[in-house]
Amino acid sequence: MTKHKLVIAEKPSVAQTIAKVIGAKNRNDGYIEGNGYIVSWCVGHLVSTAPPESYDEKYKKWDNLPIIPTVWKYEVLPGTKKQFGILKKLMNSSKVDSVICATDAGREGELIFRLVYNEAGCKKPIERLWVSSLEDEAIKKGFGNLKSGMEYNNLYQSALCRERADWLVGINATRYFTVKNGNNGVISIGRVQTPTLALIVERDSEIKNFKKGYYYTVEINCGLFKAVSLKFDVKDLAEAVKNNCQTAKVKEITKETKTAAPPKLYDLTSLQRDANRMFGFTAQQTLDILQKLYESKLVTYPRTDSRYLTEDMGDTALDIINAITTALDFEINDEPDVKRVMNNAGVTDHHAIIPTANIKTADLSGLDDNSTKLLYIICARLLTATAPKHEYEVTTVTLSSTGCDFTATGRVIKNGGFKDVEKQFLSMTKGKSNNNEDTENILPNISEDMEYPVVPTVVEHETTPPKHYSEDTLLSAMENAGNNDFIEDCYERKGLGTPATRANIIETLIKRGYVERKGKQLISTDKGAKVVFSVPEILRSAKMTAEWENELSQIAKDKADSKAFMHHIENFVKIILSA
């Protein structure tokens, strides 16, 4: 009997792509066979943690706590039993001598495969396909460089710890605080969910309790330009300056050439932020569109937290830049500096999100408007990240009148650099820019000791409250939570959640009625505020959750112990239940 390798992908569409590349053409119910391979698939998660009552009937009552399994149980999800049955039969078939894990090359993809493998009772050797794009050449190269599944055991342990920590904290804390609240509605608690909700509730509280203040400036009109004083807290002082201000003499002129560095390439979070700011996409929308582009072989792996390419990708980057300028309407006038975006130390599981060379030959006219916008923004980012710096000259004129200084500032662009590419992109997509660094403000010819008759005006300014979170700013807050507790610029994962999970956290908060989406704003509800104020500070702590996320990253790299982590989580649960 001919022996086959069983390839298990995460989705049917990805399985079909892989099957085509490796020559498996014969379709069957739930798998594709040929050329020595059987290719099948999961449908996302097929196996999940079992509910508390599967351990003991007493856990049907929510006041029986803590629930800390000594041996963890798993069950096949009801909607996926058929496909699981197919995979189990294939895994244990005498036709199959080894299994290739081809789920998404990341922590959750590893978990999806391992849970199915374990639940099916499979003992056959595992090989791992690890690719950053679904291009034919990338898949061929990946199959030519399969790794032993043993090399990813630490990644699996990290995923397992994440899943079990979320279960332990979520199940125990939710039940405890719901019962403590008199069972007056479920108080849903999550290891990442609750600190994220706390960020929103605290921001909304700051806005609600904000007390408006005022400050004043004196503006002098010098004819061809205007200058402004420093701030005055008292209006009478500003009025006194205004009343004595008739002429102003140039005291000092300084000129300084400044530069703005090109942006880094996109990881998932930074792309979600820009897509929200420019186009109003939710984080989940961006991830869904990006996944489609990935499966269409137009962009690389989406769930990455890296913003660099590896140092062997210089030629690849140049080829893709050439493909972008050929396929799209971008024009670049300078030689791309690809070395700037290459840094092995800055790449974790996957490199940054970039287009694939397929954009040169693919029919892009079939993309919907949102997919086109996202593809263009990813293309533009590779061009801007490798373009020259933006250079401009700032002229600062200081004038004096009645002992008070006034300042006028001018800006002249010397070299548009990467911002010229940004302008092209914004023009193509009608996206929204977030800065004014690409605008000029040219002052007239001014020399020292020149004196101007002026028309002074007192301008009243109101202090403004913090802004409600948008998905852009909330993703930034989630990403940077706990940053002060880590070495600056370290490449370890930190913050609340991961790039792959943050969108789902936001959607979960909305689904549970804890947060409302109003336009681009995310605003907490009374229900959400009640949850936050019902739990102790330790459950709201972004710092603690960021530390856990960092430790999970260390487990994946065999630099931390999974058993010690879970022991810490179990102790944490006991602390919660004594609150």
Distances in whole angstroms, Cα of residue 216 to Cα of each of 210, 226, 240, 463: 19, 16, 12, 11
- Catalytic residue from among 176, 301, 376, 392: 301
Backbone angles phi, psi at 147, to 5 degrees: -105, 160
d(CA 481, CA 547): 10
Please confirm, yes or no, whether 301 is among the known catalytic residues.
yes
Q: Checking DSSP bridges between strand 126-128 and strand 26-28, what pairing results, if any? A: unpaired
Sheet holding 390-401, edge to edge: 451-453, 247-260, 390-401, 404-415, 226-229, 214-221, 455-462
Q: Checking DSSP bridges between strand 31-34 and strand 26-28, what pairing results, if any? A: antiparallel
- Do the beta carbons of residue 113 and residue 84 sit within 8 Å? no
- Do the beta carbons of residue 39 and residue 24 sit within 8 Å? yes
Alpha helix positions (H), 150-233: 153-180, 193-208
Q: Which residues have C-beta within 8 Å of that of residue 390, sequence separation ≥ 6?
A: 259, 260, 262, 413, 415, 416, 417, 418, 419, 437, 438
Longest dimension (CA), the chain: 102
d(CA 441, CA 299): 39
d(CA 533, CA 513): 16
Q: Mind giving me the DSSP string for 273-320?
A: HHHHHHH---HHHHHHHHHHHHHTTSB--SS----SB-TT-HHHHHHH
What per-residue string of b and e applies to 74-87 under the rule 16 or more CB within 10 Å gives b? eebeeebeebbebb
Helix axes 153-180, 107-119, angle to 10 degrees: 90
Alpha helix positions (H), 23-152: 81-91, 107-119, 136-143
Distances in whole angstroms, Cα of residue 251 to Cα of each of 79, 161, 217, 371, 405: 77, 65, 19, 54, 9
H or E stretch at 508: helix 502-511
d(CA 408, CA 497): 45
151 token code pair: 């090399």
Q: Which of 358, 376, 364, 355 is nearest to 302 (CA)?
A: 355
- Do the beta carbons of residue 146 and residue 551 sit within 8 Å? no
Q: Which of 44, 47, 158, 154 is nearest to 104 (CA)?
A: 44
161 token code pair: 């710890």
496 token code pair: 């609340």
Residue type, 227: A
Q: Which of 227, 226, 243 is nearest to 235 (CA)?
A: 243
Active site residues: 301
